[in-house]
Amino acid sequence: MTAFWLGAAALTVVALALLLRPLLRRRVGAGVSRTGANVSVYREQLRELDADLAAGKLERADHARARLELEARLLEDLRNPDPAAAPMAARRLALVVGIAVPLLAATVYVLTGNPAAIERQAEHAASAAQLDAMVARLAARLRESPEDAEAWKLLARSYGVLGRFAEAAEAYAQAARRAPRDAQLLADFADALAMARGQRLAGEPEKLVLRALEIDPRNLKALALAGSAAFEQRDYRGAAAYWQRMLPLVAADSEDARSIRSNIEEARSLIQPAAPAASALKGVVRLSPGLKARAAPDDTVFVFARAEQGPPLPLAVKRAKVRELPLAFELDDSMAMAPGLQLSAFPRVIVGARVSRSGSATPQPGDLQGRSAAVANNATGVSVVIDSEVR
């Protein structure tokens, strides 16, 4: 048990040392800032805690609490940054990384790990309440000093690990206001916002993803989310296209590549082949010269197609006015009168036209009418002359 914690602590220190060394390196002869000294003190205290744990002088629960308090004190110390270090963005980033790595690692372990598999006594694990308290301290610091985008991102990620997605989205929004051109930040923001909205990417999350891709078209997370948003909207072709763009960015034989290819195949399998466009029935309707005096310009004209052999209900109908005659017409399936009765379903049809003084779709005595011979349902150049009266 002691060996495990000693090894874990050592790995953490080594990882942080490797990660922070390039960022914390200063020119020869430069003075040591107060912030740099605090980091050194933090490391020394951490080593002492780990040594006490390894020697059995400290219980694991006490070790965890002390470590969290140590990290919290370092966060509090950032309220008054060292003036000498203020222009050094790299050193500030180093502090954020130095805090974020152990914080997030501890959070993930407590929330998703299995401490009982290591030791049965639950009281030896750092409680979620302690982690909440540490996150609360960071939130309080940001209320006093809100211009640190990196700290906002750290807070947002911490909320995300804790499953507090609405608060994570709010923190990401604060970070995004201060770093609007950070593509990864926008992708993380979109992810948290979608989780807060019931895992739905439609709306603002999708807009954030598209903004991220405008900034960095190769951002993996943004491409993944854009594909998911398209898939969610049943745009399977678009989803496959976004995910296809991810493949050159990962190792060809990696698990990531295999997962991406699987998603692409699923999206492509759902793409419906485009239905062939139904041809339209086209022609011209004219009013016989002998009947022109009996039709007013605002009388309604109905142009329709009926099956030569089939139901009497019109398959397609177009409405116009007498003043539009002669009228070039076009009838197709979009003008169907009833489901299942489409023009394209009947090979031979008759085209009719009727002038209705009342505007009723039902023929009335005194209406004027005419019809064509039977034609193909996609015929062109059909001529209909209104030349008789309904009796």
Is it the case that residue 354 has pLDDT exceeding 80? Answer: yes
List C-alpha distances in Å: 302 to 26, 29, 271, 291, 296.
87, 95, 39, 16, 14
Q: What is the mean pLDDT of residues 365-390?
A: 95
Is it the case that residue 238 has pLDDT exceeding 70? Answer: yes
Q: Which of residues 166 and 11 earns the better pLDDT score? A: 166
Is it the case that residue 8 has pLDDT exceeding 70? Answer: no
Is it the case that residue 201 has pLDDT exceeding 60? Answer: yes
Write down the pLDDT at residue 72: 52
Q: Which of residues 250 and 113 earns the better pLDDT score? A: 250
Going by C-alpha positions, the residue among 317, 313, 294 that lies closest to residue 367 is 294
Interatomic CA distance for residues 275 and 105, integer angstroms: 53
**Model confidence pLDDT, tens digit, residues 74-101:** 554 544 444 444 444 444 444 444 545 5
Is it the case that residue 309 has pLDDT exceeding 50? Answer: yes
Write down the pLDDT at residue 210: 95
Is it the case that residue 163 has pLDDT exceeding 90? Answer: no
**With bands split at pLDDT 50, 70 and 90, how would you rate the model's confidence at 103?**
low
Write down the pLDDT at residue 2: 47
Interatomic CA distance for residues 391 and 381, integer angstroms: 29
Is it the case that residue 10 has pLDDT exceeding 70? Answer: no
Q: What is the mean pLDDT of residues 9-36?
A: 44
Write down the pLDDT at residue 66: 63
Q: What is the mean pLDDT of residues 281-291?
A: 95
Interatomic CA distance for residues 24 and 33, integer angstroms: 11
Is it the case that residue 13 has pLDDT exceeding 70? Answer: no
Q: Is 201 helix (H, G, I), strand (E, B) or coil?
A: coil
The angle at the Cα of 201, spanning 198 to 205, to the nearest 5 degrees, equals 110
Is it the case that residue 294 has pLDDT exceeding 90? Answer: yes
Is it the case that residue 23 has pLDDT exceeding 70? Answer: no
**With bands split at pLDDT 50, 70 and 90, how would you rate the model's confidence at 338?**
confident
Write down the pLDDT at residue 328: 96
Q: CB-based contacts of 336: which residues, under 8 Å, 6+ apart?
A: 315, 316, 342, 343
**With bands split at pLDDT 50, 70 and 90, how would you rate the model's confidence at 1?**
very low
Q: What is the mean pLDDT of residues 168-195?
A: 93
**Model confidence pLDDT, tens digit, residues 243-277:** 999 999 999 899 999 999 999 999 999 988 765 65
Write down the pLDDT at residue 155: 86
**With bands split at pLDDT 50, 70 and 90, how would you rate the model's confidence at 132?**
confident
Going by C-alpha positions, the residue among 105, 140, 118, 139 that lies closest to residue 61 is 118
Q: CB-based contacts of 231: which residues, under 8 Å, 6+ apart?
A: 239, 267
Dihedral angle over CA of 179, 183, 187, 189, nearest 10: 0
Is it the case that residue 55 has pLDDT exceeding 90? Answer: no
Q: Which of 21-25, 45-49, 177-181 has maximum average pLDDT?
A: 177-181
Write down the pLDDT at residue 126: 45
Write down the pLDDT at residue 299: 95
